[in-house]
Amino acid sequence: MGAACKKAALFYYMEKRTEIGSIGEFGLIERLAKSFSSHQSWTTIGIGDDASSLHANGMEVVSTTELLIEGVHFDLSYSPLPHLGFKIVSLALSDIAAMNAKPAQISIGLGLSNRFSVEAVEELYTGIKQACEEYKVDLVGGDTTASPQGLIISVSALGLVDAKNLTKRSGAKPNDVICVTGDLGGALMGLQSLEREKQVYLANPTMQPELDGKSYVVLRQLKPVARFDIIHELSEIGVVPTSMIDCSDGLASEIIHLCNASDTGARIFEKNIPIDDETYLSATEFNLSPLTAALNGGEDYELVFTVSQKDFEKVEKIADVTAIGYMTDVKNERVLVMKSDQIVDLTAPGFGEK
């Protein structure tokens, strides 16, 4: 292509420029996805859920892909490579859990700059192997290429679920109980603690990190665990959630996703949102609301799901599950009821805003 053609092409694409931040991450996904349709009859879920799915002999094969870029999604100044290896597998498999599926296979793609040695890559794969053993998944392939700078990681994951047990974001009904696993906000406070210690080190490399009392939140950031234990417990008691999503972008965002997909409203209660004591203390230390950390922090990789009132009688016996609210038939109602009884709208930060 000649120089004039290149300039013309560049000019064509630059005639109109919409900033990604103006429509947000999810607006971008929606905009790109709307022009695509499924060509295969066995594709049962396409773009717009935690994972895609195809039907095969009474089973659903669910798949997902995660892309992580150094300096955007992780910082190697405080992320040990084995921890990072474990984390990247957990991130991808958390989407498989959110479909009520069991994990089966993963593949890894790496973009490596010349600052990474063979030994460094082996350290990364030490964590990947630990995750494979933890989740009983097979590493079946991938790709490795050069990166102009830093580390780029892509993880693809496959899982299996009986077709009748597949759980989407779109199945919730009014009066269904909204449940969450574990506790929320810890990963953000772990990140805040690590970032603070990084800045202290940069100012004075002789200083030792002070992370006393932060072991829980730091681990929540560096080495999250996908909640297949809950998937197994739900299976054992014979409950299939009506909808489900993993909590990667913060509770508020996930509730809004479930409402949009299920065409419902939601009402959750501040007093019921589970926040660990260490998360609470860390948030107050940083002059941050613990509630804000839980609602908008992200990276907790807990499960947010809904069940019928009837099934909740079984679910409430699971130790690490908390009911935080219920779905409503008011479609534009996505609200948080404060301890003071004040009602506020749930909002979620978009792409580039968090």
pTM for the model: 0.84
pLDDT bucket at 344, cuts 50 / 70 / 90: very high
pLDDT digits (tens, 9 = 90+) for 55-96: 666 788 899 999 999 999 999 999 999 999 999 999 999 999
Res. 22: pLDDT tops 50: yes
Share of the chain above pLDDT 70, in %: 84
- Residue 142 or 179, more confident: 179
Average pLDDT over residues 224-243: 98
> SS3 for 191?
helix
The rounded mean pLDDT for the chain is 88
What DSSP state is assigned to residue 172?
-
pLDDT at res. 44 = 56
pLDDT digits (tens, 9 = 90+) for 189-206: 999 999 999 999 899 988
Q: Which of 41-55, 94-108, 149-163, 339-353 has the lowest mean pLDDT?
A: 41-55
**Taking a C-beta distance cutoff of 8 angstroms, is the pair 228, 182 a contact?**
no
pLDDT bucket at 217, cuts 50 / 70 / 90: very high
> In terms of CATH architecture, what is 20-164?
2-Layer Sandwich (3.30)
pLDDT bucket at 352, cuts 50 / 70 / 90: very low
Average pLDDT over residues 285-307: 97
The amino acid occupying position 7 is K
pLDDT at res. 45 = 59
- The β-bridge partners of 65 are 156
pLDDT bucket at 35, cuts 50 / 70 / 90: low
Domain 177-345 sits in CATH 3.30.70.270: no
Please give, one letter per residue, the 3-state secondary structure of 83-119.
Answer: HHHHHHHHHHHHHHHCCCCEEEEEEEEEEECCCCCHH
pLDDT at res. 12 = 46
Instruction: Report the chain's terminal Cα–Cα distance, integer Å.
Output: 40
Res. 288: pLDDT tops 90: yes
Distance CA 349, CA 333 (A): 18
Res. 14: pLDDT tops 60: no
User: Please, where in the chain does CATH 3.90.650.10 lie?
Assistant: 177-345
User: Please, where in the chain does CATH 3.30.1330.10 lie?
Assistant: 20-164
Query: How is residue 84 written in tokens?
Result: 């990072």
State phi, psi for 13 to the nearest 5 degrees: -75, -20
- Sort residue 338 into left (φ over 0), alpha (ψ -120 to 50) or beta: beta
Distance CA 339, CA 323 (A): 16
